[in-house]
Amino acid sequence: MQHELAHLGNGAHAFATQMLGSVDDAADAVHDALTTALQRPEAWDASKGTLKTWFMRVVRNRCIDMIRLRKPSADEVDELVDSALGPEESLLIEQRDRALQVALARLEDAQRQIIVLSDYVGLSYREIAKVLDVPAGTVMSRLHRARLALKKEFIADDE
């Protein structure tokens, strides 16, 4: 289980970063989720879904808790862009990846999350529906709209 969780860590961190807009807060959320997973492994019911799906739900719930605890900010998206362009991150993330982060940051929260879950974490539509708690039949249309929005952001950047 630990090996699989370590493998899921980066995807979970990317997902949490999209939800929280902060690399450090996202790391805390993943750390808390790992703690939950290791301390209460019986909470994962294999008959209800894969470890990946369950773990992403734990991460999402932890992010929601963290968002509730902190003061809402109208500049959240700007903060995400700024953090993506911060000096520390810029040393670690290449130009192409920063462009991707900036484009993602300009999308709505739900659009960012669904793109990361699908294309970065690699979840199926059914798994995405479970993680985001949305009807399975709506995932394709939500994801398609999100991708078109991301494509538009890239085109806007190129211009």
Partner 1 sequence: MMNEMEQHVGEMLSGYIDGELTQQQRQRVEQHCQQCAECGETLEELKLLKQRVAAGKLSIFGEDKWREDMNNPSVQTPRSVGWIMFIAGILVAGAVGLYVFISDPSMPVWTKLMLVAIYGGLAVLLYSVLRQRLLEQKTDKYKDVEI
Q: Which is nearer to partner 1, 74 or 135 (CB)?
A: 135
What minimum distance in Å lies between the beta carbon of 75 and partner 1?
A: 21
Q: Give the residues lining the site for partner 1 (CB under 8 A).
A: 2, 5-11, 13-14, 17-18, 23, 27, 30-31, 34-35, 38-40, 61, 89, 92-94, 96-97, 100-101, 104, 115-116, 118-120, 122, 124-125, 133, 140-141, 143-145, 147, 150-151, 154
Three-state DSSP string of 11-71:
HHHHHHHHHHCCHHHHHHHHHHHHHHHHHCHHHCCHHHCCHHHHHHHHHHHHHHHHHHHCC
What minimum distance in Å lies between the beta carbon of 86 and partner 1?
A: 10
* Both tokens assigned to 108: 């709505």
Nearest by Cα to 23 from 75, 90, 115, 72: 90
22 contact partners, CB below 8 Å, separation of at least 6: 79, 80, 83
Between CA 40 and CA 154 the distance in angstroms is 42
What minimum distance in Å lies between the beta carbon of 74 and partner 1?
A: 23
Q: Which is nearer to partner 1, 23 or 81 (CB)?
A: 23
Q: Which is nearer to partner 1, 34 or 66 (CB)?
A: 34
Q: Which is nearer to partner 1, 78 or 136 (CB)?
A: 136
